[in-house]
Amino acid sequence: MGWIGESLESIRALQIRQLLTQAVTLGIILSSALIIWKGLVCITGSESPVVVVLSESMEPGFQRVIIH
């Protein structure tokens, strides 16, 4: 059972490495999004640098801001 045990250990180690790799990748993605968001906050000087219009009722106000 020597080589079988070694094989199982290498498989477990590989799974742990893959799990850690995925966790690090997710952390990098989340931290990159936060850095971009905070950069936009600093550049625009606004708490919410991204505005999403959910209804057309706000569209005339945004048109006035964009045009003038």
Where do we find the tokens 């048109």?
63
- Output the tens digit of pLDDT for each of the chain's 68 residues: 577 777 777 777 778 888 889 889 999 999 999 999 999 889 988 888 777 766 767 677 667 766 65
**Residue extents of the structural domains in the chain:** 2-67
Gyration radius of the chain over CA positions: 24
The residues near 41 (Cβ < 8 Å, ≥ 6 apart) are: 47, 49
Question: pTM for the complete prediction?
Answer: 0.56
Task: Measure Cα distances from 15 to 24, 44, 63 in Å.
Answer: 14, 44, 53
Q: Extract the tokens encoding 29.
A: 């993605």
Q: What are phi and psi of 27, to 5 degrees?
A: -60, -40
